[in-house]
């Protein structure tokens, strides 16, 4: 059986005010082409299809046709909610997409209610696939109550609850079936890609690789944007994102995973890098240095974050963008960032005019400019007369 494992699409992502729909369109087209070329039997999308819980019509208009294209030829397609997704929205999709043969799991489900899928792959193998979408601290308690049918102990830790849920979903794994798990979360030792949502990636959201039973032949994970294997009792992989989601991920190699597996044997995994994603890069230097490297960057399809090693002054960002048209994020090197104004002892704002306070701010922050001060005077006159 051959599986295409992908995750963390983040469709709808806006990068410094720039829409990335065209990039996502190209990436999803490459993903569908890969599924067709490799003639995979199943596709697992391990969460974060969308970048926000309220995806735009344009974002939904990319994702849904991509899922239907992946379903072509009778492939089983499994989708679960990540921490960026709206689980209720995915549950709305569930009955409609289910009629088309696409399995969607937005919230926790008991094994017999869709939490553990049982199907026969196109290649003929019987499959057991445990599906656990991302659960916040609040919802992991609700899931435990759904599983047990009684009130849960609120004092148990997150990792323990996730282990209990995975244990229940995988209880039906057998020696003559292909046994798979997919979930969205953080394992200790995983390397962050750079664009993950920090509040839902910290240690209180960790769970252990030991949660996956040794009867599992492959665990397909989402959430960390860097493609990587995690040591554990079975093959455990993050597919990573199919494109660099944000600056900080420029060293990642966007792509997906092709997994070959049969009953009773660990999966064999092949990494596939994508060509379609637009690269992100960080450039640092003075205006003189930026001009020196501009010839190497001006014709590329790379979005740039530029860290400027210059004192702040009006129009600096515009000058940088004239030198490097691909610059979508221009920031000052921390050595040149203004510090909070230091007011002399005993000197307060009382009795001093807004004009005086504004000029003090410009001077103390290293931004003094007579033209800016004059513009402030004109604006102040307009709003006060």
pLDDT, tens only, 213-267? 999 999 999 999 999 999 999 999 999 999 999 988 888 889 999 999 999 999 9
Matching residue, tokens 């005010």: 17
Provide the percentage of residues in the chain whose pLDDT is more than 90: 63
Q: Where are the beta strands (DSSP E) in the chain?
A: 2-6, 14-15, 18-19, 42-45, 76-80, 102-105, 116-120, 126-132, 178-184, 218-222, 228-230, 236-238, 255-260, 268-273, 280-285, 303-308, 327-332
pLDDT tens track for 283-329 = 999 999 999 988 888 767 788 999 999 888 889 999 999 999 889 99
pTM of the model: 0.82
pLDDT at 338 over 90: no
CA distance 116 to 31: 25
Residue 308 · residue 319 · CB < 8 Å: no
Report pLDDT for 384.
Answer: 73
Residue 93 · residue 103 · CB < 8 Å: no
The class that CATH gives domain 2-273 is alpha beta
Residue 167 · residue 216 · CB < 8 Å: no
Average pLDDT, the chain: 88
Handedness of CA 206, 233, 219, 35 (dihedral sign): positive
pLDDT band at 139 (very low <50, low <70, confident <90, very high): confident
| Radius of gyration of the chain from its Cα atoms, rounded to whole angstroms | 26
pLDDT at 345 over 50: no
Closest CA to 38 of 190, 258, 244: 258
């Amino acid at each position: 059986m051959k599986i295409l494992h992908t995750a963390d699409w983040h469709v709808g992502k806006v990068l410094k005010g720039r829409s990335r729909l065209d990039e996502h369109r190209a990436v999803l087209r490459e993903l569908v082409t890969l599924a067709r070329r490799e003639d995979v039997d199943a596709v697992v999308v391990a969460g974060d299809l969308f970048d926000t819980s309220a995806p735009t019509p344009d974002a939904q208009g990319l994702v849904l046709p991509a899922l239907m294209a992946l379903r072509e030829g009778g492939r089983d397609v499994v989708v679960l909610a990540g921490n960026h997704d709206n689980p209720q929205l995915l549950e709305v999709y569930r009955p409609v997409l289910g009629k088309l043969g696409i399995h969607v799991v937005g919230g926790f489900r008991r094994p017999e209610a869709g939490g553990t899928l049982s199907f026969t792959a196109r290649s003929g193998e019987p499959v057991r696939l445990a599906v656990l979408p991302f659960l916040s601290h609040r919802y992991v308690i609700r899931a435990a109550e759904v599983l047990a049918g009684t009130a849960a102990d609120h004092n148990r830790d997150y990792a323990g609850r996730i282990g209990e849920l995975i244990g229940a979903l995988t209880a039906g794994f057998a020696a003559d079936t292909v046994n798979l798990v997919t979930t969205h979360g953080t394992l200790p030792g995983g390397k962050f890609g750079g664009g993950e949502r920090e509040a839902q990636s910290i240690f209180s959201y960790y769970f252990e690789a030991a949660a996956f039973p040794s009867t599992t032949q492959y665990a397909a994970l989402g959430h960390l944007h860097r493609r990587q294997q995690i040591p554990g009792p079975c093959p455990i992989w993050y597919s990573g994102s199919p494109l660099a989601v944000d600056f900080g991920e420029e060293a990642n190699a966007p792509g997906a995973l092709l997994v070959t597996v049969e009953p009773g044997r660990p999966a064999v995994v092949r990494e596939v890098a994508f060509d379609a994603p637009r690269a992100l890069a960080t450039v640092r230097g003075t205006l003189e240095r930026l001009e020196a490297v501009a010839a190497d960057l001006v014709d590329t399809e790379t979005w740039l974050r530029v860290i400027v090693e210059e004192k702040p002054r009006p129009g600096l960002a515009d000058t940088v963008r004239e030198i490097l048209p691909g610059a979508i994020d221009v920031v000052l090197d921390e050595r040149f960032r203004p510090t909070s104004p230091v007011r002399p002892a005993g000197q307060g704002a009382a009795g001093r005019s807004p004009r005086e306070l504004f000029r003090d701010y410009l001077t103390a922050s290293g931004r003094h400019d007579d033209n800016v001060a004059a513009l402030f005077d004109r604006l102040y006159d307009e709003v006060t007369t």
